[in-house]
Structure 1
């Protein structure tokens, strides 16, 4: 929520310093996320003054430059080299003096310095309007009226608007604070409580409203009374649609709103002032002189203001005339009924629409408008007419014309206020603080609550219509706490707590352990969006996808089927910013559906690896990450959680040029693969990417089934032997491991491949695998003879099973 300091101050009884106001807002639950200065003209024209051109002559060394002398009222005239064709003696111009910084409409800021230009001194700059941010014209220097005094500060002449802008992090329930007036009400409640004297916001509403004539009457009928409980309107005739006055444009620009025309700008102004959305219709488009609030048939076509034709749902509430729809109620206007440059008569609408109806319509059509954001939280139904009167008078002020009808207010079933009670001991229990009953009443009444009943230990109040979220005693506790200030809750000298007993904490502990291990290896954890783009998947894959019904974006329309694509988006983002060496991991979910209402989630631990393990240095050469590095990381994770190193099998997986997998009881536990270059091309990635994926819940299950055992460190030394085995090129090290395992040697503790050698001297299609064997007997020291016998046995097995030759 964006709030203007100057605008907000108009409703406060006394001006409060922006920094102090920021503290107050944060203390009452309207957390100020940022406070920044706003300038309608960046730099505020500081250092720019008016001057009179005394002389103009041709630059001796440049055909397109001129030498000028300019009087800025500071003593001797300034010598300024100027390139504008329209500069002549006698003009009043704007001069940026030496030391000032100007901010062009397009381009970087420029600090003015004394300089020599083609050999001639220049002591400033005569400015065009785009060079100081006043406009877009660069046709020549900006010429001022002759009556402007020399030496006048440009800031005093143009009076640029300056302000401070608060960015407030509103919680979703605080519809009452989605306006400047609502925020002012909270600030005044704070001042009332802490100063112990009543402070009320200045009301913008006046009692001077009256119709000038009754020349343009529009009737209103509500057919869907559940979706629209109150609808008010008024006509204003003979308006002039034009640019808004400066004060109105300044206010809107300060909070990031683009001025459109005086009529539309007033509706936007009122929305941000009061929180009540309005809509202005061209009265000529209201056929039959009737407004009908109703629903249209399913799939009825309707063209909105953005010139898009939309198919309506039968539950979309519409504002219609006697013949057709004109506006999607509370969400977006129609192309034909909106205010145009030639509009002469308008009908102003102010209404209360059902929040649920508006929210569904807004999401259904992807129209997230300012109006919808407020209606879907519930606007103040009691303020509908007051706001309409305020808007009508403002329209008359800025657009002329006359109010040509009385207020039409259709309110079939007036709403009763919600009644809520609170017991003082409950307040103490929930807040941790004893409040005096007078303080409680002062806070609540200053927020607009009405006291209807008091007791020794309780208070009953009527909730203001502006706070539709309040229905429980706990809601009142929240209101009291935030106005008093959470920092004002006393902390007792001692606290009594019951230690928590965590159950089933293996999942979190294991996640923490793996995360620590990976971070220690140089990995960074990422969190990517579970909602992704359907274009990443084939039609066959999308058959099992969980698709978004009301997607916020065309690029985010399906729940991800795989962890690969969102990880590749992150890699592409980093590579595009010259960060090419990436070790990333993520705990995330994929989603699948076999029909409406049948959805499944699967949890993953996924790793993405690309780039180089180390960069070039004086000590070592650059080393690129390869498939074996990724495989080693996967094996390391398995060992860290206490499982045996998995035996991986080659598997064909769509999207991978090479993949290995480990399956446990028919479920795929682990996948290690190199992503196919064709898939990488879709993300504009030109370097290899390796992917590791664990079925997280299956991994947890396997770990939970493992018993932790401790074995005493052996008192006897281990012995090591190396063996070079020449085998066919098609033989893998896994085959060597399988042969050794079948041999069942109890003293063999470990074997490790430490070299692979290929040469024509070994024979055609042959290679040498150098393997290290480690032997240990827990009962005694092994002798060389015993180890040699085991090695001989292994050699015979290799020769028999693998047709191997032993390199001597």
Structure 2
């Protein structure tokens, strides 16, 4: 929010310095992020003086230059070399003496120095208007009124406008401070609190009587959707002359970064930033049937807005229509091309209304129109000030544009809104704020802010909230108002804090996440963060059937909540590959979203790994080795081992993917990304992807302290076995069969060779598997080991039809 110092001071009973006001604003919760000086003329003509040209003769060494002597009110005239074709003796001009800095309309500032031009000394400069920022002409020097006195500061003649501009970081709930008057009321409340008085009040501009036109020009108003538009007021002004705004109005708007357009539009902008109430001016002659209807139109109704774009309206868009139900404006958001005020407009219908935030915000986002008016309506405006603001704007239009009231004020307010009432206790304010405020201080602060006390006792009080503060509805809001006006820096910080530590939950989710992230980062992975809002074009209709769609999407490409982690991760992979960053190890913690029923949604946490490129780059020592499934599987297993998860079961999935299941819970899905998916992102190299179901993973972690056991004293024994199996039998089946033997002596098994040959038989292969046995209590005997090996062999033969190679 941008606030002008001079403008704000118009409403204050006192005028603090810009620095003092900056401190006050920050103390009352309106944090000043920057304070910058505004100048309508850069440099404000500082140091420039009025001079009188005494003589002007040709330069002896240059045809286009002249030697002048100029009286600037000093003891001796200045000798200045001037190249302007129109310089002549007797002229009153603007002079920049030595040491003065000038600020041209374009280009860098220039500081005057003593110079020698073609052999002649020059002690300053006679200025053209573009050279000092007063205009764009460079045809010659600026010739002034002959009656001016030499030596007079130029700033006294031209009176450049100066101001200080505050950039305030407003929190989203502070709609009441989105105007100069709103900020002024807060400042007055602060002044009252520090002076223990109620005398400081914001200077609300008085309403002037409107001149009446001879001929009536009545325009009727009706509201069909009173929920979206609870109040609508308007007035017709005739005889308006659209033209440039007066200098004071132009400067007010320029200071806060608004370009002057014409007097009517400038007045509506001025009132918006003065009061916080948006206005809209229609060319009254374009309103068919002299009737304004506030309603919704059918889906896909065409409407051309002021920016000359034809838009398709949504059935939920609130529209200002004429008697033929033709749209004239998107209510509270943007005007129409054919009903806006132009240079030829003479009759105006001025609108001041209150539109519901729930209607304005979706329309604004739906059409991509983020206007100042929409920003205010979507936070709520002061419904009680609708007519006052209309009268204030109408008076200014009559004063500055020659308008006359051609109708009375039409005010449609079918269901007057009652004031919100909040009840709380004096003790509650102390309890929540940590400070014992006297009751009279609380009452003074709230009264200064516009609250009305309905009742009060020694224990409790009840107040009516001003309509300008739609964010206040609960006792905690009242405490906030008291604290910020008294000053948040006035809250004592206790020297001691008493706390009761709460036991940490097990497993500690944050520690587990950090542990895994540290492991991956230490192994060369980079963490990425991708947008949880993504493009529906990435997914099939089957997936989209259970996808969460955005009601008000920011762009056409970001219209759904992601149903899987893969696609947003591939966007990052593609981004890097397109910039020749070909070897990538990424990991990401994120959530996916799904619809599980009517108004029921599911959010699932994930850890995802993305691998592509070379795991070993080429060198003189070895060839390049690309990332493969086993490289990915190694990291997946290491993560699970790091977290102490055992009993992994591998299940083959679709499209060359595998699923790891633990205790009937799916923990990880891993494998190669499908070529069709890679083509969708224009990725031309293999990408490997692992997706951990993070919630399932956490649920499997132990909830007790880590435990330790002694390293066995007795040696382990290894036995090898070669199994001839059908080619389609996976090693996972061998592991599963071995575990069914359930021998406490079998500690580990490992596949160390795979052999395929026609000598083994058609469609046969050989697995060479090592088995490790150990007993923590004694040394194993061959008889004990042979007994277990015999059980293993029988199990392999029975379940896998395995043959044992001799």
> Where on the TM-score scale, by shorter chain, does this alignment land: which range?
0.7 to 0.9
Query: What does residue 291 of structure 1 align with?
Result: 292
Tell me, what secondary structure is at the counterpart of 2:352? strand
Give the TM-score taking structure 1 as reference length: 0.76
CA shift for structure 1 position 574: 6.2
CA shift for structure 1 position 444: 0.7
Q: Aligned runs of 1:319-718 on 2, under 5 Å?
A: 319-321=321-323, 324-359=326-361, 361-362=363-364, 367-492=369-494, 494-501=496-503, 506-521=508-523, 523=525, 525-571=527-573, 583-593=585-595, 596-597=598-599, 599-609=601-611, 628-644=630-646, 646=648, 651-653=653-655, 659-663=657-661, 668-675=666-673, 679=677, 683=681, 689-704=687-702, 709-715=707-713
Tell me, what secondary structure is at the counterpart of 1:703? coil
**CA 1:722–1:227 in structure 2 vs 1: closer, same or farther (change >3 Å)?**
closer
CA shift for structure 1 position 605: 1.4
**CA 1:162–1:428 in structure 2 vs 1: closer, same or farther (change >3 Å)?**
closer
Query: What does residue 213 of structure 1 align with?
Result: 213
User: In 2, Cα distance between the equivalents of 1:158 and 1:723?
Assistant: 101
Query: What does residue 304 of structure 1 align with?
Result: 305
Cα deviation per residue 1:155-178 (whole Å; 9 max; x = unaligned)? 99694766433141323x322122
CA shift for structure 1 position 343: 1.4
CA shift for structure 1 position 351: 1.9
Query: What does residue 222 of structure 1 align with?
Result: 222
CA shift for structure 1 position 724: 14
Check the 8 A contact 1:2/1:168 in 2, yes or no. no
CA shift for structure 1 position 89: 7.5
Query: What does residue 73 of structure 2 align with?
Result: none
**CA 1:801–1:540 in structure 2 vs 1: closer, same or farther (change >3 Å)?**
closer
Check the 8 A contact 1:3/1:168 in 2, yes or no. no
Q: Aligned runs of 1:68-107 on 2, under 5 Å?
A: 90=87
**CA 1:715–1:314 in structure 2 vs 1: closer, same or farther (change >3 Å)?**
closer
Tell me, what secondary structure is at the counterpart of 1:517? helix
Query: What does residue 235 of structure 1 align with?
Result: 236
User: In 2, Cα distance between the equivalents of 1:457 and 1:275?
Assistant: 36
**CA 1:28–1:802 in structure 2 vs 1: closer, same or farther (change >3 Å)?**
farther
CA shift for structure 1 position 95: 9.4
Check the 8 A contact 2:506/2:703 in 1, yes or no. no
**CA 1:530–1:260 in structure 2 vs 1: closer, same or farther (change >3 Å)?**
farther
User: In 1, Cα distance between the equivalents of 2:29 and 2:569?
Assistant: 37
Greater mean alpha carbon deviation, residues 663-672 or residues 424-433: 663-672
Query: What does residue 145 of structure 1 align with?
Result: 142
User: In 1, Cα distance between the equivalents of 2:603 and 2:425?
Assistant: 44
Query: What does residue 165 of structure 1 align with?
Result: 166
Query: What does residue 761 of structure 1 align with?
Result: none
Cα deviation per residue 1:446-492 (whole Å; 9 max; x = unaligned)? 10112343322333333212122333333222211221223323344
User: In 1, Cα distance between the equivalents of 2:584 and 2:128?
Assistant: 49
Query: What does residue 179 of structure 1 align with?
Result: 179
**CA 1:557–1:773 in structure 2 vs 1: closer, same or farther (change >3 Å)?**
same
Query: What does residue 762 of structure 2 align with?
Result: none
**CA 1:9–1:705 in structure 2 vs 1: closer, same or farther (change >3 Å)?**
same
User: In 2, Cα distance between the equivalents of 1:706 and 1:495?
Assistant: 31
User: In 1, Cα distance between the equivalents of 2:616 and 2:104?
Assistant: 45
Give the TM-score taking structure 2 as reference length: 0.76
User: In 2, Cα distance between the equivalents of 1:25 and 1:397?
Assistant: 33
User: In 2, Cα distance between the equivalents of 1:683 and 1:125?
Assistant: 63
**CA 1:207–1:597 in structure 2 vs 1: closer, same or farther (change >3 Å)?**
closer
Greater mean alpha carbon deviation, residues 472-481 or residues 66-75: 66-75
Tell me, what secondary structure is at the counterpart of 2:590? strand
**CA 1:434–1:590 in structure 2 vs 1: closer, same or farther (change >3 Å)?**
same
CA shift for structure 1 position 433: 1.9
Cα deviation per residue 1:638-694 (whole Å; 9 max; x = unaligned)? 1121113856566544xxxx6544245776431334446765565566776543311
Greater mean alpha carbon deviation, residues 739-748 or residues 515-524: 739-748
Unaligned runs of 5+ in 1: 60-65, 81-86, 758-766
Tell me, what secondary structure is at the counterpart of 1:478? helix
**CA 1:505–1:131 in structure 2 vs 1: closer, same or farther (change >3 Å)?**
farther
CA shift for structure 1 position 551: 2.0
Greater mean alpha carbon deviation, residues 350-359 or residues 147-156: 147-156
Tell me, what secondary structure is at the counterpart of 1:284? helix
User: In 2, Cα distance between the equivalents of 1:611 and 1:555?
Assistant: 28
User: In 2, Cα distance between the equivalents of 1:805 and 1:113?
Assistant: 101
Tell me, what secondary structure is at the counterpart of 1:433? coil
**CA 1:504–1:744 in structure 2 vs 1: closer, same or farther (change >3 Å)?**
closer
Name the larger-Rg structure: 2
Give aligned pairs, total.
772
User: In 1, Cα distance between the equivalents of 2:67 and 2:294?
Assistant: 66
Q: Aligned runs of 1:702-781 on 2, under 5 Å?
A: 702-704=700-702, 709-715=707-713, 778-779=776-777
Query: What does residue 270 of structure 1 align with?
Result: 271
Query: What does residue 262 of structure 2 align with?
Result: 261
CA shift for structure 1 position 557: 0.9
Check the 8 A contact 1:523/1:584 in 2, yes or no. yes
Query: What does residue 761 of structure 2 align with?
Result: none
Query: What does residue 13 of structure 2 align with?
Result: 13
Backbone CA RMSD of aligned residues? 5.8
Tell me, what secondary structure is at the counterpart of 1:232? strand
User: In 2, Cα distance between the equivalents of 1:630 and 1:111?
Assistant: 64
**CA 1:70–1:523 in structure 2 vs 1: closer, same or farther (change >3 Å)?**
farther
User: In 2, Cα distance between the equivalents of 1:753 and 1:212?
Assistant: 100
Check the 8 A contact 1:749/1:775 in 2, yes or no. yes
